[in-house]
Amino acid sequence: MTPRTTRVASAVVLAPLAIASLLWLPTHWLALVLAVVMMAGLWEWTLLAGVGSPLARATYLLANALVMVALAWGSRGSQDELAPLKALCVLGAAWWLLVPLWLARFEFASTPSAASRAAKLLAGSLSVIPAWCAAVYLHHQGPPKAAWDLFPLTLGARWTLFAVAIIWAADTGAYFVGSRYGKRKLAPRISPGKSWEGLFGGLAASALVAAACMPGLHVGWAMLPQFLLLVVATVAISVIGDLFESLLKRHAGVKDSSDLIPGHGGILDRIDSLLAALPVFVVLRGLLL
């Protein structure tokens, strides 16, 4: 099979599993599944950060997993059970607003050293933990279904799938439009394959998905400007997440975070956009809608 065919085949297998998990798993089980996936991505991150010792990598993963457990446990006993998760979403959104400064300085932390590894490991925690919090918060949070609502799924599940779907649409649109029409490079030193044409194609694809999803999300046409702003901002920050992982791979001298998924690379290669998009989506949704 060609690389494109392999890529599509893997997506056809994995996408239904992801969609089914987001829609039908109870929030606590989804939180567990997402924690496993994100810990696998963080394991790949440690290699990109230059940590070679399996024991050191496992210790780092354990520390992050314990933070997730503490957040889940702390949320259960708080007055607002989702407050700790929401606070981490704000922290994550703030982190991703600062990442472009790192991208603008390609050489920062590029030389192997203890300080570089520490900076990249901190970046990994600031990327993965808030994204996990955002997904759990979004899935659990939301008004109950209205009596007239014909959709069988909770609003929390729908909004979570929507957040993921617009990023998938943006990635897909950018890949096909960029590969066909891409000429002007978006960030040639970090990711030569990305183009401005691909970015605009991804934005168009995500906007189409957003328009189709409005009725199921209870978003009226009066809210269209705010809704589109939410979509555009989320897609834009997802590109920052993609570029940041590309920067780490450039520093590490590798093409993919691993070869686990045929045609796609590693788990981190599949969730890098989501790591940036999810906390920003949650924060902006609270502000705009």
The pLDDT of residue 22: 87
The pLDDT of residue 218: 87
Q: Does residue 216 contact residue 151 with C-beta atoms inside 8 Å? A: yes
Domain that holds residue 7: 3-288
Angle, helices 54-77/83-104, rounded to nearest 10 degrees: 140
The pLDDT of residue 151: 54
The pLDDT of residue 1: 58
Ranges of residues in the chain whose predicted pLDDT is under 50? 77, 79, 143-144, 147-148, 150
The pLDDT of residue 130: 97
Query: Considering the entire predicted model, what is its pTM?
Result: 0.91
Structure tokens that stand for 150 in this block: 């014909």
Query: Total structural domains in the chain?
Result: 1
Phi-psi region of 54 (alpha: psi -120 to 50; beta: other; left: phi over 0): alpha
The pLDDT of residue 82: 80
Element (H, E) at 195: strand 191-195
Give the span between the Cα atoms of 98 and 108, in whole angstroms. Answer: 14
Phi-psi region of 44 (alpha: psi -120 to 50; beta: other; left: phi over 0): alpha
